[in-house]
Amino acid sequence: MRNGELSILKRCILFVFSFILLTSCLKRDEMSLNKQIANLLSRYYAYPEDRKRETLDLISQIRNKGNLKIEEVENELAQFNNKHLYLVNSNEESPSLNHPCVQAVLNRLVIHSFWCVPKNKEQKGRSEIRENFKYHFITSLLRVMSYLDQHNMKEMIIDLKGNGGGGDDEMMIALYPFLKGRVAIYDYQFKWASTPHYPIKAISKFLTQSGLSEFSFFHSLLNQSWDQRRTFYFDENDEMWNKFKITDDLQWKKLQERFGKKIKEIEIKLEVDSSTGSASELYASILVDLKRAEVLSFKRTKGSVGAPSFHTIRSREGKNYQLAIPSVRVWRIRGDTLEGRGL
């Protein structure tokens, strides 16, 4: 082999070796970056104990991938389980960090419940529960709006899957940012001043003694005992909002300063399932009926807004009958009821 050919061969070998070395270094840098990302996420992501093993396994897989961006990792984790895995700010003081009722996951506002009991307070009165929900809802909404603004997105997803309901006050707080002016939102009737237990015991005793398997007598009696049907209005200038002190909230002021009217116009998509019931079902129906949201899901909601009380009646044949007696009947503004039908 001539000197010239040998020189070219040496250069080729040197080039290949250099390329391999450079690729290895870049790969190491990528791996190092991904380890940093994974370590960051393992510190900043919260998850319940029963999901811990799966979460750590997923983070371990992410560590072994190359050329990933933080947004891609967040997406992968969010898709893994957006109900139990969420990004939290460890520097932020939270009344209930170990069990938030509302979470921000990218462009998704996940509302797990409209009943948000603080975990770290001895006194858990009605006002504390409401304030805890308000805190989580507004701070989560601020994060979602920030994400939408950063990525120039115009659509928010509100996830109500598995939300069994909660308080009416909390539902109204969650409506406040998305509605404006004065609008009728639903009709309702209360049963026996919202106490459905009288005369349940007497009826149960009668049915048990007679051994009836048909409850026509029972239903005819129930149908005569409802209060007058009324319409409930949403009014952002009503004194109710002074009670909730939404506009006094510092996070709310920050939300208004940054996004102003944009939050009133944002497109909303709803995700529901067969467990979406009570206050969450009513919340979804209001947003849909006022044309502020569209439902993405194909499953119907629970069809039980009226907080039923359950009563077991045992017949003479030895069969047990479970009677669900709603304390409230609710109609959508367009006239049909949610009870037994769902959204």
Residues 6 or more apart in contact with residue 248 via CB below 8 angstroms: none
Asked whether the predicted pLDDT for residue 287 surpasses 90, the reply is: yes
The more confidently predicted of residues 276 and 10 is: 276
> Residue 283's pLDDT band (boundaries 50, 70, 90)?
very high
What pLDDT, on the 0 to 100 scale, is given for residue 82?
A: 41
Cα distances from 190 to residues 16, 199, 226, 231, 327, in angstroms, run: 81, 15, 6, 12, 6
Q: What is the mean pLDDT of residues 260-288?
A: 87
Q: What is the mean pLDDT of residues 125-147?
A: 87
Cα distances from 24 to residues 33, 37, 38, 65, in angstroms, run: 14, 20, 20, 14
Q: What is the mean pLDDT of residues 205-223?
A: 48
What pLDDT, on the 0 to 100 scale, is given for residue 231?
A: 86
What pLDDT, on the 0 to 100 scale, is given for residue 64?
A: 63
pLDDT digits (tens, 9 = 90+) for 28-65: 454 555 555 554 444 434 444 445 566 566 666 665 66
**Residue ranges per structural domain of the chain:** 1-79
Mean per-residue pLDDT over the chain, rounded: 69
pTM of this prediction exceeds 0.95: no
Cross-strand pairs, 105 = 108
- C-beta neighbour count of 107 within 10 angstroms: 17
Asked whether the predicted pLDDT for residue 142 surpasses 70, the reply is: yes
Cα distances from 170 to residues 57, 97, 110, 243, 260, in angstroms, run: 36, 18, 14, 12, 22
What pLDDT, on the 0 to 100 scale, is given for residue 44?
A: 39
The more confidently predicted of residues 22 and 247 is: 247
> Residue 158's pLDDT band (boundaries 50, 70, 90)?
very high
Q: What is the mean pLDDT of residues 286-310?
A: 78
DSSP state of 50: G
What pLDDT, on the 0 to 100 scale, is given for residue 318?
A: 64
What pLDDT, on the 0 to 100 scale, is given for residue 335?
A: 80
Q: What is the largest CA-CA distance in the chain?
A: 113
Task: Please tell me which of 120-129, 268-277, 320-329, 330-339 the model is most confident about, judged by mean pLDDT.
Answer: 268-277
pLDDT digits (tens, 9 = 90+) for 55-106: 566 666 665 665 555 556 555 555 554 443 333 333 333 333 344 788 888 8
> Residue 198's pLDDT band (boundaries 50, 70, 90)?
very low
Amino acid at 33: L
Which H or E run contains 158?
strand 155-159
Cα distances from 152 to residues 105, 146, 147, 148, 251, in angstroms, run: 16, 10, 8, 6, 22
Asked whether the predicted pLDDT for residue 272 surpasses 80, the reply is: yes
Radius of gyration of the CA atoms of the chain, in A: 28
Q: What is the mean pLDDT of residues 195-219?
A: 48
Vertex 170 angle, CA 169 and 175, to 5° = 95
What pLDDT, on the 0 to 100 scale, is given for residue 109?
A: 92
What pLDDT, on the 0 to 100 scale, is given for residue 341?
A: 74
pLDDT digits (tens, 9 = 90+) for 123-134: 567 788 888 888
What pLDDT, on the 0 to 100 scale, is given for residue 268?
A: 92
- C-beta neighbour count of 199 within 10 angstroms: 12
What pLDDT, on the 0 to 100 scale, is given for residue 20?
A: 55
